[in-house]
Structure 1
């Protein structure tokens, strides 16, 4: 079945906005730091604030979308995102900018809400195709934002123009969301919102991500960081206990822990580890001057974005065809292949660390796996979850991916600070090889995990034909 453009085009636009804002702000961090006259350590809160807000907002918005309509919550999310974007654009101080970033927390809920809507409105084959397009749009938006934000800031004389452009895009997306083009959710969940579960899950993830984000700057044994790392598992354990006793939990923990779907959540965490956790390391390696450090390729800053953009476009392409690949191979086999490509890519990086073409080939191979993994996992998770909890379950996957990336980023910083060259005080080659090796092992373990897991009958193996649902109000 073809994907109806009247439904998918607005959703693709929203997900493009998600990726574009995420990629642009990461590229602008040095520019924003200087404009707000703050330190590098304080500027780290710019990304941390949005991550922490997303930890609370994403599962709550996903469940509210299942209950009250995905279209309604998309509109609420875009109102908040628009206000946050404008606040960031006008912010005179770091505190005001961070308030804007907190309001951008619902940004990460745009994809889960979109997945919930297409799953409700389309048959299985159509929804799989739509999810692959949405995943590709997210990759394309992030790639475009990362590659264009820096040059645009240089041309226009600062980051304010870019921030105003992001705010303008948010306004346009909000205007599109308020039009009748977006279909309403036809079949809503019954029940009520589990606010106690939402608070406990959000608090647990906030403690975990907050402690991890500050570990390298404050020290891992500082009371604030150590307290967060100790309290986080306790709060999350309490959330599980409360959810198991609730008749209408935020997340169906029993379904989430089933043998057929739990491996997909574990692989979502692994995707964060191998993708988000290694991004800054890739930039650092391309930037390193071999005459000074004994490794790296010493590329100019303006070239690094281009070198990263091409493999990202490979991810975009493989994400776009993932529905066809999954239909032919089965989604679990496709995901196993995706993680094997990731592992092969890291192996090529290790073997070819001194030869740019070979190292870059590894980067291309791994990013081909990234596209298949990022687009395939939401399909497995949404179809394997109860029908009335598709958006909420996809939201948990999104948070697990972010958590994996945050934890790996902090671990990488610790390794790089611990393995320094005495002469240059730069990370040693061993630090890079260890990280790539660890990511390769995680990818191999994920391939085995997803391939050996018993499939749930009818989930993401062969296209199932279902009749279109009648329009509803929501």
Structure 2
């Protein structure tokens, strides 16, 4: 049975989420070009991605809760307005400092998905809401894939990254204009209460300390005083946030609901999905680029082929995410998510066994892509349906932040692992580093498959 969706609602929301993925994917692939344009080094340029991650960690839960309280459409407009200004600042930036200021303003870009989920959850019935969420997640994957694949070639054709940055600013402005039209209906059921600014400050501080320290640990050393101080103070700030939330009658995040059986395993699996997607899949480029005669592993592919090989699993994740509502309706979401995590684990297992043969290794990579599509599209639905209807956006925002935190920590752990396990003759990461990372991701996927079984049957 097909589920029809109102195009007046879902169409613009898909555009906003596509923009989210496209802008984020474009900037990541443009990092070398932006570095050269701003005449800065590789180390300082790493703050380009870290700054937006930190800004998103702070702004996503705040924007999600504000959407629940004051209307998701209204806060979407604020988010897209902020993003448009940020994109313009990045396009005009003469120095790295100005560029990073623009990246801070891009933090609310990551709130478009939680706010869109909040609108879908409010305006549609259960079946249509599930279909809408799956399409939104699929659009995010498609946008990120398109941005990553096209930004580099476009910069080469246009003669530099500055032109691409202006294109991103125009796209953000188009999204803002679309959001300002009366085409999108506002939220009907608003949450009661007021904004928990104390909780927002404590949560933002804790996440900034944690993610900032994780991002800088590999570059500056895990024993450096700033990194150690950040890692020690982060649990303190997060502990104070939990204490404040439990005492508040209207917390930023309902910690008690998060700890309930209905959604606590799904939140834990969201963190694991971030580790697997950004940790396990993030080293793919390095492995495909490694020359077997020099490193003893890899396939020595040219850059243009690497882009194509990476795009195919992402497109498969997009297709499976789009079909996840139909699969969930047939199997149940708990069974679908279990299958997704098992497919991830199987994919990493095949990569470990077949690392020396391109066809075998890539088959495992594709298998993991199918599992990722099912997992990242099904988890938001389980979380929003297990949360109060008037907290859909803030609950999705917490999921998004946990996934981002998992990816950031995994990226730092992978960098430390690759720096510690080097081949003496080539000073490149050893094969054992890749196998250990894929093995850890496979085990984590198996643990997630067991965890998700603890949620109620849907």
Same fold (TM over 0.5): yes
Aligned to 1:388: 390
Which residue of the partner structure matches residue 178 of structure 2? 176
Give how far 1:279 is off: 3.4
CA distance in 2, matches of 1:221, 1:40: 21
Whole-Å Cα distance in 1 between the matches of residues 302 and 151 of structure 2? 17
Alignment partners' CA distance in 2, 1:329 and 1:236: 37
Indicate whether 1:425 and 2:438 are aligned. no
Offset at residue 303 of structure 1 (A):
1.1
Unaligned stretches of 5+ in structure 1? 462-474
Give the Cα separation in 2 of the matches to 1:37 and 1:215.
24
Deviations 1:206-254, CA, capped at 9 Å, x for gaps? 1000000000111101111000100001110110011001111011100
C-alpha separation in 2, matches of 1:50 and 1:278: 22
The SS at the match of 1:321 is helix
Query: Which residue in the other structure is 1:468 paired with?
Result: none
8 Å Cα contact 2:265/2:455 also seen in 1: no
1:307 maps to which of 296, 306, 309: 309
Q: 2:83 aligns with which of 70, 78, 81?
A: 81
Distance (whole Å) between structure 2 residues aligned to residue 152 and residue 275 of structure 1 = 26
The equivalent residue for 2:158 is 156
How is 1:32-43 mapped onto 2 (pairs within 5 angstroms)?
32-43=34-45
The separation in 2 between residues aligned to 1:302 and 1:228, in whole angstroms, is: 39
1:242 is matched with 244
Counterpart residue number, 1:213 = 215
Q: What is the aligned counterpart of 2:149 among 134, 147, 166?
A: 147
How far does residue 278 in structure 1 lie from its aligned partner after superposition? 2.7
Q: Unaligned 5+ residue runs, structure 2? A: none
Task: Spell out the pairing of 1:279-318 with structure 2 (5 A cutoff).
Answer: 279-318=281-320
Give the drift of 1:302. 1.2
Can you list the C-alpha shifts for 1:81-132, whole angstroms capped at 9, x where unaligned?
0000011111110000000000000011000000000000000000000000
CA RMSD of aligned residues (A): 0.7
Inter-partner Cα distance in structure 1 for 2:84 and 2:350:
42
CA contact (8 A) 1:278 1:409 kept: no
Aligned-pair distance for 1:259? 1.6
Deviations 1:280-335 (A, max 9, x none): 31000000000101100000011111110011000000000000000011101100
Shift of 1:157: 1.1
Shift of 1:454: 3.9
Q: Does 1:271 align with 2:273?
A: yes
User: 2: distance between equivalents of 1:280 and 1:332?
Assistant: 27
Normalising by structure 1, report the TM-score.
0.96
2:456 — aligned with what? Answer: 455
Query: May I ask how many residue pairs the two structures share in their alignment?
Result: 456
Distance (Å, rounded) in 2 between the aligned partners of 1:14 and 1:401? 20
Question: Secondary structure, in 3 states, of the residue corresponding to 2:30?
Answer: helix
Q: Check the 8 A contact 2:351/2:365 in 1, yes or no.
A: yes
- Alpha-carbon distance between aligned partners in 2 of 1:220 and 1:254, rounded to the nearest angstrom: 33
Number of the residue aligned with 2:332: 330
8 Å contact kept, 1:12–1:133: yes
